[in-house]
Every structure is written in C-alpha cells, then in structure tokens.
Amino acid sequence: MKFYFTFLLGLSRLQTPSADIRCNTTKGHKARGAVPWCVPRSYEVTKPPFLYKPEGNQKMNLHFTFSIREISEIKDSDQVLKIPMYFTVTWEENRLNIDQHHRSWEDDSTGPKGENTEEAETLNHLWRPNLEIYGLEDFQKHKILGEMAGLRITKDKRIKYDIKVTIEISCQMDFSEYPFDKHVCTFQVGSYFYNQNSMTCTSQLFDPSVESDFVERNLQHHIAWRNLSSEKGVVRLTSGSYSACGFEVLLKRKHEPLVYQVYIPCILFVTVSWISFIIDPKIVPGRMSLLVILFLVIINVFNNVKANAPAAASSRLNAIESFIVTCIFSIFSAIIEYAVVLSILTLRPEPKTTNTYNMPNGVHRDIKPRIKERLFILIENPRILDAASIIIFSSGFIVFNLHYWFIADYDQKITESEL
C-alpha cells in the first residue's frame, strides 16, 4: 500500500503582502530606483502566477535542484532512507516589478550577478507552490541561529527558495535475495494541488560521487545515483495526473563481510564433518561428539543470521538462509549415515560359512553378484558406505557451491519503489 505524505513549503499562514515589498509607497526608500524589485499593490498571495499569463501560455514550471552530500542512514527494518540535502525550488513570478537598471543586479556582494538575496521570511509575502514528496516519512529543517534557508529574486522575474533539510523517504525493499539484494529507491516531488495541465516540473541532481572530495559513509550498501526515469515523471492518482521530478538511489548490499563471518565458517563446518567418515565407527564417542557439536554450532549460526537479517516479505528463505540450511542438512545427513553404519555393526548377524558356487560341466566364468549378495557384502564391510559417502557428500557440496556462487542469478529481483 502506498502512503502519500505532504508538506507545505512554508508553515506560516498566508499573509497579505506587507508594505515593505510593495511598490509606489509613500516612503522615499521605496521609490522607483531605490529598490531592485517590488510587488504591485494589487498583488494577491493566494493566486498563482500562471493565472496572469497570456491565454494559451498559462502552464507553469517548477525547477528543482537537489544538492546531496551523502545518505546518512539506511534502515532495513523500516525500509527508510535518510538523505541530507540542499533542496531548491525555482518558479517564475511574472507579477514582480523589476528595475532592470538597479545597481544590485551587477553587484555580486549579496549573491550571483542577476540575483538579489532576501531574507527567507520574505517568502511569507509572496505566492509559493504547495509541494508533495511522495513516500515522505519525515521532513526536518536545520537551524543554528535561525532557519538555514534563503530566498533570491532574479532579474528575469524568478523566485529561488533554498533550504537545508534532512528528508526521510520510504523505499519498498525485497530481501528475498539477501545478502545479494539490490534496490532502486525513488524520490519524487511535485505540486500537491495543480495537475500536469497547470504545472510541470524539471529537476537537476548534483551527484555527490563525482565530487573530488567525496567520501562514502560506512554503510552496508554501495550507493549510486541517477536521474528520475521518464516513466516515473507522472504520478497518477484518483484526483488526476501530476508531474513529478526527482532522482533514483541505487542500493547494492555489501555481502563481503558475511563471506568471512558466515559463509566460510559454514563451509569449514561441513568440510570437517567429512572427517567423521574416516574415524573408525566403533569409536562412538569420538565420531558422534564431532558431528553433534558441528550440528549444534551451525544451528546457532543460523539463529544468529535469522535474527540479524532483514525480514523478507515472502515466506521462503532468503539466499543466506538457504545456504546455511543446506549446510545443516549436509551435517545432519552425515549423522544419519553414521547411524546406518553403526546399526549395521550392532545388528548384523554373526558371519556364516562362505557360500561356494559350482558350475555345471566343470565350466567356470565370472558371475556378477545379485542385489541380495551385494547387500551381504555391504553388511559384512560397512566401511564401504563411509568410503562412498566421502565421494558423494563432497561432490554434492561442491556442485551446490558452484551453482550458488557462479550460476545462480541474484539480479533478477530488483525492487523499484514507487513512492
């Protein structure tokens, strides 16, 4: 089930434009030429700018910029990503009155040339879009002495609002192939109220991995970034179709630590269990204690892995659990094999006189023993079963590992979250 959470770009109530930014006031410092920009006295903050555009050109575009440094946390249990970023949204406000010849447009002391920096609170006196981030779990603003946000008015009548935030978004993950699981998590943002017929969007992603000073946080995943795919550029809801922009995060789990912590010990446990086939079956304490200890230890390994692994949506075992269960079955089979050998030694009848075979007419030739006679041979020499088990068990486990590590395809199931 998809959950859609919304946030308003500003939390304060919409207010009537104050006289501080209105044009043609009686105060001398607001006379034309004294300020680079102002809004007309008839300006309404509740009306979107595209209503004042010429007929046939009333579609409005929002441009988003995502400046990301890293992913600070990935919660497998909650299926949530925590992403600190500088979140910027830009839109055209054609109702602004711009003094094209004001000196501040050529001065870079308050910002880039062609832009004028204002206090973030000025946004309360301007129209601003209501935004929705699909799959939003938390939207945290950063503050020191004040809110880490800024507002810029451009010479070509655009408003740019920038804020430092930490965003938590949900990501639908499938852990069926853990620890070889891969996920594609989607960040989508768009207009909350206006559909794609009224408002479109574009976006720009600054990939942190291309920075020369980029240092990846020590997480359990390899992380890659890419722009939002075209098929996810539209979000279809019961109320209509809405334009969406954003980016995608590609997660690939680092399985190398588990190779040393789980896989290699389990392989060694199974290999050591084969030594029991060499031990004289009459030495019951030595052979049985070896197998039982290995069996109990690998059961404990399975319980620890089960407790620490993320819960899969399906009821079947994930990749690492399947591997350990196979190892458990291999050691358990060695115990069953020893039970069979021990049963033969303790329950077989006393050896009788060897049977002789006489061929008619004095003709002798090789005769293959029948199944019953072969069974008697096995009963008389149960160590044959141990010799055969060494070959069968080792060959089967080697084939299983070749399939598990080199043939099995763990890339087939990549979860693409549709937030």
| pTM attached to this predicted model | 0.80
pLDDT at residue 112, as a whole number: 86
Burial of 27-43, coded b for 16+ CB within 10 Å and e otherwise, reads: eeebeeeebbbbbeeeb
pLDDT of residue 51: 87
Mean pLDDT, consecutive 10-residue segments, the chain of 419 residues? 40 41 57 78 90 81 93 93 95 92 84 88 92 95 92 94 96 92 95 92 90 80 93 92 95 94 97 95 93 97 94 84 97 96 82 53 57 69 91 97 93 47
pLDDT for 7: 41
Cα R_g (the chain), whole angstroms: 36
For residues 156-195, one letter each, b for 16 or more C-beta atoms within 10 angstroms of the residue's C-beta and e for the rest, the string is: ebbbbbbbbbebbbbbbbbbbbbbbbbbbbbbbbbbbebb
pLDDT at residue 15, rounded to an integer: 40
Helices 383-402 and 319-347: angle between axes, nearest 10 degrees: 170
Ranges assigned E (strand) in 207-348: 221-227, 234-237, 240-253
pLDDT value, residue 352: 58
Contact 122, 94 (CB under 8 A): no
Which residue type does 298 have? I
What one-character-per-residue DSSP string does 66-84 give?
Answer: EEE----EEETTTTEEEEE
Nearest by Cα to 207 from 319, 75, 67: 67
pLDDT value of residue 354: 53
Relative orientation angle of helices 371-380 and 383-402, to the nearest 10 degrees: 100
| Best CA proximity match to 45, nearest among 24, 22, 78 | 22
What is the predicted pLDDT for the residue at 242?
Answer: 95
Buried b (16+ CB within 10 A) or exposed e, 342-361: bebeeeeeeeeeeeeeeeee
Q: List beta partners, residue 4.
A: 134
The bridge status of strand 136-141 relative to strand 158-170 is: antiparallel
